[in-house]
């Protein structure tokens, strides 16, 4: 079982995706390039 976290930091929004094998577990979008820590942290806190 492989888990993958992808982070796309853009100029207007940040996207964080969590995949396990081919299953999408979660996908979040933040407002700015500085939100990826908050978005990722919230996602993992909710999953654990």
The three-state (H, E, C) secondary structure of 1-48, written as one string: CCEEEEEEECCCCEEEEEEECCEEEEEEEECCCCCHHHHHHHHHHHHC
Q: What is the DSSP letter of 5?
A: E
Please determine, for residue 48, whether its predicted confidence score (pLDDT) is greater than 60. no
23, pLDDT greater than 80:
yes
| pLDDT range class, residue 4, cuts 50, 70, 90 | confident
Are 30 and 42 in contact by the 8 Å Cβ rule? The answer is: no
Q: What mean pLDDT comes out for the span 26-41?
A: 71
Whole-prediction pTM: 0.54
């Amino acid at each position: 079982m492989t888990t993958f976290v992808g982070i796309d930091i853009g100029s207007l929004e940040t996207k964080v995706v969590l995949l396990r094998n081919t299953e999408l577990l979660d996908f979040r979008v933040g407002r700015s390039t500085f939100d990826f820590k908050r978005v990722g942290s919230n996602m993992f806190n909710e999953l654990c």
